[in-house]
């Protein structure tokens, strides 16, 4: 999981695209001077370890890497923005956005934390449940410009994950790749 192109095999990276007219137009691989604010180069599996560390209050794979009080402070609301982000009304923690959401009328309202990413031709979403026993995290990487389809996909995957957790209440990792 590097920051720089020199530290990764770029032939394995998705190319950022935009849609113009009736065609997808590649941006090509690019960087910008906002390091380390964006453009981390990683895989869903590597990033899932980071997400699991937050969801488990600092513990990943039986190793404590963050103090639980640090994670609690990071995930606490530091700015009551009441801003709309797609279908969500969010508050802001430290790097994490926080919201309560009811996936559908059959499920209770749950608390989630997430971090979106957005650059030219790249939309990402990483989020996890903060609701008691529900141990559910989702990571989505896309190479396009639209965020609402990413949020719709997150809702569908989260609903699927909740039902999967009801059927198989164990720790499992499900990774899906779409080309």
User: In 3-state terms, what secondary structure has residue 114?
Assistant: strand
- Confidence check: pLDDT of 164 > 50: yes
| pLDDT score, position 179 | 41
CB contact set of 145 (below 8 Å; sequence gap of 6+):
17, 18, 19, 120, 121, 123
Torsions phi, psi of 2, nearest 5? -100, 170
pLDDT over 90, % of the chain: 11
In this predicted model, what pLDDT tens digit does every residue of 21-76 receive, in sequence order?
999 899 999 888 877 777 888 888 888 888 888 888 899 889 999 999 998 898 88
- Contact predicate 54/64, CB 8 Å: no
- Rounded to a whole number of angstroms, the distance between the first and last alpha carbons of the chain is 21
The encoded tokens of residue 80 equal: 């009551």
- Confidence check: pLDDT of 169 > 60: no
The encoded tokens of residue 12 equal: 């394995």
| pLDDT score, position 5 | 86
In this predicted model, what pLDDT tens digit does every residue of 110-138 receive, in sequence order?
788 888 888 889 888 888 886 666 678 88
């Amino acid at each position: 999981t590097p920051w720089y192109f020199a530290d990764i095999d770029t032939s394995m990276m998705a190319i950022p695209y935009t849609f113009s007219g009736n065609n997808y137009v590649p941006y090509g691989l690019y960087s910008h001077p906002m390091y380390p604010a964006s453009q981390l180069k990683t895989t869903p599996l590597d990033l899932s370890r980071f997400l699991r560390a937050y969801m488990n209050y600092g513990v990943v794979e039986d190793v404590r890497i963050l103090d639980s009080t640090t994670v609690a402070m990071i995930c606490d609301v530091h700015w009551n923005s009441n801003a709309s982000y797609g279908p969500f009304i969010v508050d802001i923690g430290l790097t994490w956005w926080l919201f309560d959401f009811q996936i559908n009328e059959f499920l209770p309202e749950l608390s989630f934390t997430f971090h979106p990413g957005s650059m030219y031709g790249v939309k990402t979403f990483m989020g996890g449940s903060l609701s008691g026993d529900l141990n559910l995290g989702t990571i989505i990487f896309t190479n396009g410009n639209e965020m609402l389809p990413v949020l719709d996909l997150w809702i569908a995957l989260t609903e699927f994950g909740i039902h999967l957790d009801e059927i198989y209440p164990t720790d499992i990792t499900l990774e899906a790749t779409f080309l």
